[in-house]
Amino acid sequence: MPTHRVSFAVSMLKPVLAAALFVGSLSSAFADPITIQGSTTFARRLMDPFKSEIETISGQQLTVIPNKSTPGLIALLEGRTHLTMISSPLSAEIALLQKSMPGMSFDRLKEFDVNRVRVAFAIHKSNPVRKATLDQIRQILQGKIVNWKALGGPDLPIRVVLVGGGGGLTVAVEAALLDGKQTSAPNKIYTKTPVQLVQIVEQEPGAIGTAQLALLKQRGITEITTDQPVEQVLSLVTLGDPTPAMMDVIKATRAVAEKMM
């Protein structure tokens, strides 16, 4: 075959091969599951019970890893997950991470609100205190009120129970009541998960802990009602603009959350 015909044939094949490679890469990209890491509260409320429905609506396969809000954001910043579930304000999470991980691409993080849940203050069933103002709760967290007697309860030291290790609920409460400062109450008890928190509250007569209202109702835990509600915002976070597939997951999760309201 003459040389010019071979060159012409090769030049004609190039765009065909490129198109085939492009289609193949798209197919493999959409076949891969979207990984979501982060808040255990978010996962327990939406991903655990409704993962299949979210996958059906979005047309995407999901891999969900509940490991708390802060570790989830670190994974997102390091490129180890596509989406992060958080259960506290993104601004509060960024403020915490900037102290330990300066120089990361925090300005590229984008927050998409999905749901709002009420925060409840749990106490031991033997505690007769049933009402408190948010200012009194604030003073408990600040270590200014340290005995239940100050709220009309028993002469018993107050033990504040918190989810540690980057738990979104702790960050959300500290952002709402303490301007983002850490709880300074004495004799704090740290747990790994909200479920462990309520288990300790069930056992410790002087305990007060923050948890989702639904979790308290599920376990029959006694609640202190406050004069004003404290809400926890559940959001999905992306690094930069979400891809169409990620946006489909965000929209599907919002659709499921709206049906719960």
CATH number at residue 108: 3.40.190.10
Instruction: Find residue 115's DSSP bridge partners.
Output: 234
- Per-residue tokens: 170: 């702790």
The answer to whether residues 193 and 245 belong to one domain is: no
Mention every residue, 6+ apart, whose C-beta is less than 8 A from residue 73: 38, 84, 86, 93, 97, 109, 237
Top pLDDT among 153 and 19 is at 153
User: What pLDDT sits at residue 43?
Assistant: 94
Asked whether residue 20 is domain-assigned, the answer is: no
Question: Which H or E element spans position 215?
Answer: helix 213-219
Mention every residue, 6+ apart, whose C-beta is less than 8 A from residue 100: none
User: What pLDDT sits at residue 166?
Assistant: 60
The answer to whether residues 70 and 196 belong to one domain is: no
- Mean pLDDT of all residues belonging to the chain: 86
Q: What is the pTM of this model?
A: 0.73
Confidence of residue 122 (pLDDT cuts 50, 70, 90): very high
Confidence of residue 213 (pLDDT cuts 50, 70, 90): confident
Q: Check pLDDT > 50 for residue 14.
A: no
Mention every residue, 6+ apart, whose C-beta is less than 8 A from residue 88: 69, 168, 169, 170, 171, 172, 175, 232, 233
Asked whether residue 98 is domain-assigned, the answer is: yes
Confidence of residue 84 (pLDDT cuts 50, 70, 90): very high
Asked whether residue 3 is domain-assigned, the answer is: no
Q: For a pLDDT cut of 70, what percent of the chain falls above it?
A: 87
Task: Tell me which of 126-140, 160-174, 175-189, 221-235 is least confident.
Answer: 160-174
- Per-residue tokens: 112: 């998409």
- Per-residue tokens: 93: 């999470």
- Per-residue tokens: 62: 């999901």
Q: Phi-psi bin for 242: left (phi > 0), alpha (psi -120 to 50), beta?
A: beta
CA distance 164 to 193: 8
CA distance 57 to 50: 11
Asked whether residue 101 is domain-assigned, the answer is: yes
The answer to whether residues 148 and 105 belong to one domain is: no
Q: Report how many domains make up the chain.
A: 2
**Helix, strand, coil fractions of the chain, as percent rounded to 5:** 50, 25, 30
Show the domain range for 201: 117-231
